[in-house]
């Protein structure tokens, strides 16, 4: 009796893909509606500007992809303009997600990818949210537990918030 082979689902990869979708949702909310002046905002002379933080997030996801592929390399990129860095944010998420979804070998553990570049990116998204508030261009808070976050949805178009508050 022949049976059709079911694809093997790697639960850890799927959780990483959900984590990337969470980064896209939260990061997208933080970036959306920010005035162009926000790109150069920083707390003090020693701090990074918002666009430098966003460029660093792009660097993190390029690094994560290089780790996943087994040829780890780091690059400190020169920030692009704000809109180009926003596009880069989404495209680097897509590139890593595509690799995770491909079934190609993962040359590290899922845990290491999460604890390193993905968790670091979430920290920096929180910094950008805080900087928006300080810069006077705050965004509404949200109950993210209720958010519609879907693996593979990594672009700027995200589901509408379910529960926002001040």
Is residue 1 domain-resident?
A: no
Q: What percent of the chain has pLDDT over 70?
A: 95
Q: Give the total number of structural domains in the chain.
A: 1
Angle at 60 between CA 139 and CA 10, to 5 degrees: 100
pLDDT band at 39 (very low <50, low <70, confident <90, very high): very high
pLDDT for the residue numbered 10: 93
- Whether 6 shows a pLDDT value over 70: the answer reads no
Is residue 160 domain-resident?
A: no
Instruction: Report the pLDDT averaged over residues 63-92.
Output: 97
Residue range of the domain that includes 140: 12-155
CATH number at residue 36: 1.20.120
Is residue 36 domain-resident?
A: yes
* pTM, to two decimals: 0.92
Is residue 166 domain-resident?
A: no
Is residue 105 domain-resident?
A: yes
- Whether 142 shows a pLDDT value over 80: the answer reads yes
pLDDT band at 105 (very low <50, low <70, confident <90, very high): very high
Is residue 6 domain-resident?
A: no
- How is 124-146 classified by DSSP, letter by letter? HHHHHHHHHHHTT----EE-GGG
Instruction: Report the pLDDT averaged over residues 83-105.
Output: 97
Is residue 161 domain-resident?
A: no
Q: Which residues have C-beta within 8 Å of that of residue 77, sequence separation ≥ 6?
A: 55, 58, 59
Is residue 148 domain-resident?
A: yes
């Amino acid at each position: 009796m022949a049976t059709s082979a079911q694809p093997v689902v790697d639960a850890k990869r799927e959780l990483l893909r959900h984590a990337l979708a969470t980064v896209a949702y939260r990061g997208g909310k933080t970036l959306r509606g920010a005035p162009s002046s926000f790109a150069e905002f920083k707390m003090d002379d020693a701090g990074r500007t918002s666009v430098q933080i966003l460029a660093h997030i792009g660097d993190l996801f390029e690094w994560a992809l290089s780790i996943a592929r087994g040829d780890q390399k780091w690059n400190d990129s020169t920030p692009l303009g704000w809109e180009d860095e926003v596009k880069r944010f989404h495209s680097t998420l897509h590139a890593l997600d595509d690799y995770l979804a491909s079934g190609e070998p993962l040359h590290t553990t899922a845990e290491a990818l999460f604890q390193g570049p993905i968790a670091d990116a979430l920290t920096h998204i929180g910094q950008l949210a805080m900087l928006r508030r300080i810069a006077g261009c705050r965004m509404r808070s949200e109950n993210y537990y209720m958010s519609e976050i879907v693996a593979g949805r990594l672009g700027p178009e995200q589901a509408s918030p379910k529960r926002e508050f001040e």
